[in-house]
Amino acid sequence: MSKRKNSEGQKLLFFPDAPLAQKPDVETGSTMLARPQSALQPFRPLPSSLNCELVISGTYRKDFETLKRTYEEFRDLGCDVLSPSSVTIVSEDDGFVYMKGEEQETPTRIEERHLSAIQKSNFVWLHAPNGYVGPTSALEIGFAHAAGVPVFAMELPNEPVFRSFVQLVGSPSDILSTHLHNAPPPAPALKAFQEYYRRAAIQRGYSKEGPKECLLLMVEEVGELARAVRKREKLVRHASYEAVSESHELADVFLYVVHMANVLGIDLADVVRDKETLNITKFLATMG
């Protein structure tokens, strides 16, 4: 039989509690999740045992009312929105939107704080109406990906590369009910530093050290760290100890760990992530 075209104003009927369906945007080619009104559920506050900290990225100049509703929905769910701290626009200058409390700050400082918040967050929520992603949002998607922080959205970006870094969900509550419980740990941002320290070892003349030499030197640094902590905790038996800094000694221990990883040919970021995944599995097993 012939196919009928949808007329303007025609309503689509859904069965009650129908599953979410992907709906393409004909004009822009973007993809979003269509949620029937009958399937909407009331907010369920986040359990106190589950920590939810997020950053909202995306354009603040398009469909701002939806962004505000999303911000409030996350707050109602018990999440802490690390950035932006407010969704009250006070001004706009050369395309940059200033929220309440940001009036005296530079765009660079605001963006630096936003990127820092991404590193501390469980995930990033991308506001991309009609699949639009601006230059700053593109930077933040890439930054989150490099930091191992997942990005979720109800509309995927139009750009295929950006789209591959964003996970499509039906609503903010879907993240809490499904993804947040099972989120894998991010890989520590160590690859660049580990490669830097490999070059530093060559330059400084200790790239030929073997595991035994590296281990002995690392244990020595652990001892110096223990000495610094003893002094801080007032466990010093003699007052003749010279001033020591536990932060510097801890840094030395870290540097030797990185050096040992290079000596053994281990990708430290990958093994830390894999080991923490195993730790999570063991912990969940003990919880029944």
On the question of pLDDT at 238 being above 80, the answer is no
Report pLDDT digits (tens) over 159-177: 999 999 999 999 999 998 8
Q: Is residue 230 a contact partner of residue 236, using CB atoms and an 8 Å limit?
A: yes
Q: Is residue 133 a contact partner of residue 158, using CB atoms and an 8 Å limit?
A: yes
CA distance 45 to 55: 18
Residue 13 or 265, more confident: 265
Residue 82 has which token pair? 């690390």
On the question of pLDDT at 43 being above 70, the answer is no
Domains of the chain and CATH, by start: 21-179 (3.40.50), 191-286 (1.10.287.1080)
pLDDT band at 239 (very low <50, low <70, confident <90, very high): low
pLDDT value, residue 32: 46
pLDDT band at 236 (very low <50, low <70, confident <90, very high): low
pLDDT value, residue 50: 62
On the question of pLDDT at 3 being above 70, the answer is no
Residue 274 has which token pair? 């894999």
pLDDT band at 20 (very low <50, low <70, confident <90, very high): very low
pLDDT band at 269 (very low <50, low <70, confident <90, very high): confident
Whole-structure pTM value: 0.66
Mean pLDDT of all residues in 185-199: 81
On the question of pLDDT at 186 being above 60, the answer is yes
Mean pLDDT of all residues in 60-76: 92
On the question of pLDDT at 23 being above 50, the answer is no
Beta strands in 100-256 (DSSP E): 123-127, 151-153, 167-168
- Rounded to 5°, angle at Cα 10 from 4 and 11: 115
CA distance 266 to 190: 12
pLDDT value, residue 116: 92
Residues whose CB is less than 8 angstroms from the CB of residue 93 and which lie 6 or more positions away in sequence, other chains included: none
Mean pLDDT of all residues in 14-19: 35
pLDDT value, residue 280: 77
CA distance 17 to 288: 31
Most confident of the ranges 158-162, 202-206, 227-231, 242-246: 158-162
pLDDT band at 103 (very low <50, low <70, confident <90, very high): confident
C-alpha to C-alpha distances, 126 to 29, 129, 155, nearest whole angstrom = 17, 9, 8
Pair type for strands 89-93 and 96-99: antiparallel
Q: CB count, 10 Å around CB of 46? A: 19
CA distance 258 to 201: 11
Phi, psi angle pair for 215, to nearest 5°: -65, -45
On the question of pLDDT at 57 being above 50, the answer is yes
CA distance 231 to 247: 13
